[in-house]
Amino acid sequence: MEPKDDRRHTDRIRFFWPFWFGYEDNGELFRGQVVDLNNSHVSCTVEEQSCPSVGQHITTRFSYPLNTADKFAIGSYLHWSEVIRVDQVRPGTRRVALRLHRPITLNPAGPKKATEEALSRTA
pLDDT score at 29? 94
Q: Is residue 4 part of a domain?
A: no
Query: How far is Cα 26 from Cα 23, in angstroms, rounded to an integer?
Result: 9
Q: Which residue type is seen at 46?
A: V
DSSP bridge partners of 21: 30, 60
Q: Is residue 58 part of a domain?
A: yes
Give the model confidence (pLDDT) of 43-100 as tens digits: 999 999 999 999 999 999 999 887 666 677 788 899 999 999 999 999 999 999 999 9
Q: Is residue 115 part of a domain?
A: yes
Query: How far is Cα 58 from Cα 73, in angstroms, rounded to an integer?
Result: 26
pLDDT score at 116? 52
Q: Is residue 6 part of a domain?
A: no
pLDDT: is 84 or 11 the higher one? 84
How many domains is the chain built from?
1
Q: Which of 82, 80, 99 is nearest to 40 (CA)?
A: 99
Q: Is residue 43 part of a domain?
A: yes
In contact, 61 and 121? CB cutoff 8 Å? no
Domain span holding position 111: 13-122
Q: CATH number for the domain including 91?
A: 2.40.10.220
Q: Is residue 53 part of a domain?
A: yes
Q: Is residue 107 part of a domain?
A: yes
- pLDDT band of residue 2 (cuts 50, 70, 90) is very low
- pLDDT average, residue stretch 20-40: 91
Q: Is residue 46 part of a domain?
A: yes
Query: How far is Cα 41 from Cα 63, in angstroms, rounded to an integer?
Result: 14
pTM for the complete prediction?
A: 0.75
